[in-house]
Structure 1
Amino acid sequence: MLFLLKRGKIQLQISRIAAFAAIFVGLMLPGSNQPANAETNDLVVTGFQAPPYLYSGEDGQAAGLLVDLLQNASETSGVGVEFVVTNWPRAQLATQQGRADLIFPVVHTPEREEWLAYPQEPIVQFEMAIFARKDSGLAFTGKAAELHGLTIGKIAKGRMHPNFRALEESGKAKIEQRDTVVQLLMATHHGRIDAFVAPRIMTLWTADRIGMKTVAPFEDPIGVADIYLAFSKESSKEAMWDRLRQNLPSLNSKIDLFLASLQQ
């Protein structure tokens, strides 16, 4: 069935999720939560908008799969948690200074080891998927060469997986940039681009919010990134973090439930 949402409804949905797109750029609008107090008796978790994992709900409160997971672990361990959803520069600075104890989502880099203690295992993995119209006739099994000759969209200034960067640098596909995932979805729906690359789960969340049914991801990703909930080396609450993470599973179980909800 073709995408038939009325213009007014589309604009309403777009306005609700437009701020989420900048996750790929790392420049999010400030959340409504105030900066955390380093003297709080709770663990302070900060991060930028990364739906459906972490985001500010319509009531201004932190919501998402990570929030649910940490609140469950908090009840089991007796360790309180607070959430500050903000932009990346503020989240990073608060964690570097020890005003926030934990930060999500982060990838591992040698530079960040100076101020972050990474767990041995990532809390989740982000699959960088290729999305196309369901009736496009395209095939993709994870190999960048299958995208040669196509027009592929990506988030402007977004950090891409090395496999996709290699495709960009090869010049064998035409790469077009858009500011938001919504724009990528719409451009693909209308045939202005052949496909686009974006984190699979977050894009499915966005597509569900705007009622987009004509665009879907290929099963095989172009790359996978380990994502961590990392601890500030400036925090004095290491014992609390140790207690909490003993009761903290990975996000995979929450993701399975999220995907099942989209199929209902």
Structure 2
Amino acid sequence: MIRFLRLWLAFIASFCAQLLWAAGADNETLIITGDLWCPVNCAQDAQQPGIFVELVQHIFAERGIKVEYRVTNWARAVHEVRRGKANALVGAGVRDAPDFIFSKTAVGVSRNCFYAKQGLGWRFQGVDSLAKVTVGAINSYSYGAELNTYFERYRADSARVQMASGDRALAINIDKLRKGRVDTIIENSWVMQAYLAKKGQADTLLEVGCRKIDVPIYVAFTPALESSQRYVDIFEQGLERYKAMGEMDALYRRYGIAPESLGTR
């Protein structure tokens, strides 16, 4: 009788603990932030808020944790996460915030590639190979020290470099490419694949070489809050499970990204 009573009390205690955990989780909110970098993270009200955003939402929803996604400029996003005003920074490289807490697994890579129409007969093979083409790039973007130096050196020579600016810079460069005003354009591979897929033009441009080295990108958690290590552990476990189940590849494809092009395997 006494043994039965102890077992019963243990069951009640365990049951109550689970109820308390569930109640706490229902009130738990994870705040993530970053600047617009679609398809990594897109507009807050978009039907597809971004690959990283969806991953965070799905993984933490499994634990009953709500996710609040905020869009702001990059400097402010880094500042808010560093101070613990937000829990995590979306689309960060280790160099962006080396003091933040990163998962073991990168969600993706940042890779700058060159694109051209079929029949160009040219591939990017280092900066010296650019002397044979006119390149379209985006003003104020960083493409790595070597390419940045090249673009700055020849930005006044429209036969070698043409810079586009503004919110429609990518669309402007693609239009120039199609009209033959530039031979090739450089763009982040995720951004280009997602843009062309959205426009129904996935096979209209060819990738003709990429800049090395790829930069791994993460969801990086604040060093200011004790809860961060728990969140990192939850996120890492979710990433490993989603990869094993093929859910990651399915998510990439929904945004027009070819998983085999990521270089994260």
Q: What's the TM-score, normalizing by structure 2?
A: 0.70
Over alpha carbons, which structure has the higher Rg? 2
Residue 227 of structure 1 pairs with residue 205 of structure 2: no
SS in 1 for 2:55: helix
Aligned pairs (5 A) from 1:147-186? 147-165=130-148, 167-168=150-151, 174-179=160-165, 180-186=169-175
- 1:76 partner amino acid: E
- 1:145 partner amino acid: D
- Whole-angstrom CA distance in 1 between matches of 2:145 and 2:257: 30
Paired positions, count: 218
Does the CA contact (< 8 Å) of 1:43 and 1:241 recur in 2? Answer: no
Change (3 A) 1:248 1:77: farther
Aligned to 2:85: 99
Aligned to 1:255: 252
- Whole-angstrom CA distance in 2 between matches of 1:118 and 1:66: 14
| Structure 2 stretches lacking a partner, 5+ long | 1-26, 259-265
- 1:41 partner amino acid: E
Aligned to 1:244: 235
Residue 71 of structure 1 pairs with residue 62 of structure 2: no
Please point out which of 74, 95, 113 is paired with 2:98: 113
- Whole-angstrom CA distance in 1 between matches of 2:248 and 2:153: 34
- Whole-angstrom CA distance in 1 between matches of 2:82 and 2:145: 27
Aligned to 1:126: 110
Q: Deviations over 1:176-199 (max 9, x none)?
A: 211111111111111111111110
Tell me the C-alpha RMSD between the 2 structures: 3.0
Q: Percent identity?
A: 18
SS in 2 for 1:45: strand
Q: Give the number of the structure whose residues are more often helix, by fraction.
A: 2
| Structure 1 stretches lacking a partner, 5+ long | 1-39
Does the CA contact (< 8 Å) of 2:194 and 2:256 recur in 1? Answer: no
Change (3 A) 1:107 1:119: same
Does the CA contact (< 8 Å) of 2:108 and 2:218 recur in 1? Answer: yes
Does the CA contact (< 8 Å) of 2:103 and 2:233 recur in 1? Answer: no
- Offset of 1:201 from its aligned partner? 1.7
- Offset of 1:206 from its aligned partner? 2.0
